[in-house]
């Protein structure tokens, strides 16, 4: 296939670019490097079948040209990361809604397939766990900026599904749960790279709130596999899918586990949400996907256990910081051996 990946220099986008190229597909990426980084795709530059454009999805003449050349558009360009969203809510709404509008408008011209990356954040504060794709979505007040992200992504989903229904554009919506892996930056708030960096530097590991909130973390390679299979499965069109991992861990346990795997002596500290994100911040206590729908359609089953994911991330972070790779004994323990 000829793929266009918007946000292709980001964490997930660059792994998707790796995967598609390795499978023999042609890959074009469009990224404005707002949260992505060219280093993420450095190894791909110059490879046959790979081209990149450093620009925004809001540059519609360029977007039109790139969509026209593609068979499938993976629309991953977005404002992401709780820290960024809380700091820049206007930018979040404009980028997420405007970008998706532009992609769908261009895709509609020749009915190009679009895979829209949405988020588990749309389930909001719902406690109807595990989250099913057809469940109610429960957001907080508009005065609480965090919800702008979920709301902007919900609007993207509505737009995508409506464009499919009204204009016959083949659209697939995926709700990505907390995805982790090498190259993810902690700069915009994501917990795993933040804790790994803090542990490796011997700095305090910052647990927000009481640490009893939980998440289920998904390996980026599983997300790439799911996106690729869904893009080529005709029955996925017009549908919404969770992509995640069923295993839950509390944030306090996560901090302990990262400290153990790194052999760090960093203290674990509790930081009130207000101090981390400003007054009135609301977190969600749990977030677990129901994976029945995607398993039935494409046989998706998460393939990597959390300690193995964490070890790979720690090794990558050590390499990037010029520190030695981890003790092989730790690898063995992490793999459950």
Is there binding between residue 242 and ligand UDP (CB under 6 A)? no
Is there binding between residue 283 and ligand UDP (CB under 6 A)? yes
Q: Return the range that interacts with ligand UDP (CB under 6 A); candidates 105-113, 201-209, 224-232, 325-333.
A: 201-209
Is there binding between residue 181 and ligand UDP (CB under 6 A)? no
Which spans in 33-146 are helix H? 60-69, 82-87, 89-109
Contact 203, 266 (CB under 8 A): yes
Cα-based distances in Å from 113 to 159, 241, 297, 298, 330: 14, 16, 18, 18, 43
The distance of closest approach from Cβ of residue 160 to ligand UDP in the complex, given in angstroms and rounded to an integer, is 21
Which pair of structure tokens corresponds to residue 257? 């586990």
> Helix 306-320 and helix 251-262: axis angle, to 10°?
50
Residue 63 φ then ψ, to 5°: -55, -40
Task: Give kind and range of the element (H or E) at residue 4.
Answer: strand 2-6
Pick 52 or 177: Cβ nearer ligand UDP: 177
Pick 75 or 194: Cβ nearer ligand UDP: 194
The distance of closest approach from Cβ of residue 131 to ligand UDP in the complex, given in angstroms and rounded to an integer, is 13
SS3 115: strand
Pick 59 or 126: Cβ nearer ligand UDP: 126
The distance of closest approach from Cβ of residue 274 to ligand UDP in the complex, given in angstroms and rounded to an integer, is 12
Selected from 153, 164, 183, 194, the binder of ligand UDP by CB under 6 A is 194
Q: Return the range that interacts with ligand UDP (CB under 6 A); candidates 9-17, 47-55, 153-161, 184-192.
A: 184-192
Selected from 63, 220, 224, 251, the binder of ligand UDP by CB under 6 A is 251
Is there binding between residue 189 and ligand UDP (CB under 6 A)? yes
Which pair of structure tokens corresponds to residue 43? 């190894």
Pick 50 or 277: Cβ nearer ligand UDP: 277
The distance of closest approach from Cβ of residue 80 to ligand UDP in the complex, given in angstroms and rounded to an integer, is 9
Q: What angle do CA 82, 59, 3 make, to 5 degrees?
A: 80
Is there binding between residue 206 and ligand UDP (CB under 6 A)? yes
Size, binding site for ligand UDP by CB under 6 A: 14
Which pair of structure tokens corresponds to residue 250? 């509390």
Q: Is 52 a catalytic residue?
A: no
Q: Return the range that interacts with ligand UDP (CB under 6 A); candidates 11-19, 66-74, 159-167, 189-197.
A: 189-197
> Helix 191-201 and helix 306-320: axis angle, to 10°?
60
Is there binding between residue 178 and ligand UDP (CB under 6 A)? yes
Q: Indicate the length of the chain as a whole number.
A: 337
- Beta strands 214-215 and 249-250 are antiparallel
Is the preceding peptide bond at 130 cis, omega within 30 degrees of 0? yes
d(CA 311, CA 217): 13
Selected from 145, 215, 225, 245, the binder of ligand UDP by CB under 6 A is 215
Site for ligand UDP in 48-87 (CB under 6 A): 82
Pick the catalytic residue from 52, 123, 149, 188: 149
Q: Return the range that interacts with ligand UDP (CB under 6 A); candidates 40-48, 188-196, 291-299, 319-327.
A: 188-196
Task: Give kind and range of the element (H or E) at residue 230.
Answer: helix 220-231
d(CA 196, CA 217): 14
Is there binding between residue 124 and ligand UDP (CB under 6 A)? no
The alpha carbon dihedral of 222, 56, 122, 168 has a sign of negative
Pick 128 or 210: Cβ nearer ligand UDP: 210
Is there binding between residue 150 and ligand UDP (CB under 6 A)? no
The catalytic residues are: 149
Contacts with ligand UDP by CB under 6 A lie at 82, 121, 178, 189-191, 194, 206-208, 213, 215, 251, 283
């Amino acid at each position: 296939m000829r793929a266009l990946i918007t946000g292709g220099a980001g964490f997930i986008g660059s792994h998707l670019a790796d995967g598609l190229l390795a499978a023999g597909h042609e890959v074009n990426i469009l990224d404005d490097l707002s949260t992505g980084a060219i280093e993420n795709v450095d190894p791909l530059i110059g490879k046959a079948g790979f081209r990149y454009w450093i620009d925004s999805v809001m540059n519609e003449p360029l977007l039109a040209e790139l969509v026209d050349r593609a068979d499938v558009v993976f629309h991953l360009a977005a404002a992401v990361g709780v820290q960024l969203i809380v700091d820049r809510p206007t930018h979040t709404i404009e980028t997420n809604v405007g970008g998706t509008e532009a992609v769908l408008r261009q895709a509609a011209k020749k009915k190009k397939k679009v895979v829209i990356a949405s988020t588990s954040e749309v389930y909001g504060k719902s406690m109807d766990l595990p989250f099913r794709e057809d469940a109610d979505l429960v957001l907080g007040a508009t005065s609480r900026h965090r919800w702008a992200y979920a709301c902007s992504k919900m609007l993207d989903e509505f737009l995508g599904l409506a464009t499919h229904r009204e204009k016959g554009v083949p659209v697939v919506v995926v709700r990505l749960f907390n995805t982790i892996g090498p190259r993810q930056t902690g700069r915009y708030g994501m917990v795993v790279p933040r804790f790994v960096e803090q542990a490796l530097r011997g700095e305090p590991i910052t647990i927000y709130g009481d640490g009893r909130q939980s998440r289920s973390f998904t390996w980026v390679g599983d997300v790439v596999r799911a996106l690729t299979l869904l893009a080529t499965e005709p029955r996925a069109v017009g549908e919404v899918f969770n992509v995640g991992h069923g295993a839950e861990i509390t944030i306090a346990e996560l901090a302990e586990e990262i400290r153990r795997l790194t052999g760090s002596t960093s203290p674990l500290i509790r930081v009130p949400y207000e101090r981390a994100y400003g007054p009135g911040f609301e977190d969600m206590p749990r977030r677990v996907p129901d994976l029945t729908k995607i398993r039935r359609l494409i046989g998706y089953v998460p393939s990597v256990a959390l300690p193995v994911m964490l070890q790979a991330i720690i090794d990558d972070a050590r390499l990037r910081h010029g520190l030695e790779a981890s003790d092989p004994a730790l690898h063995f323990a992490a793999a459950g051996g």
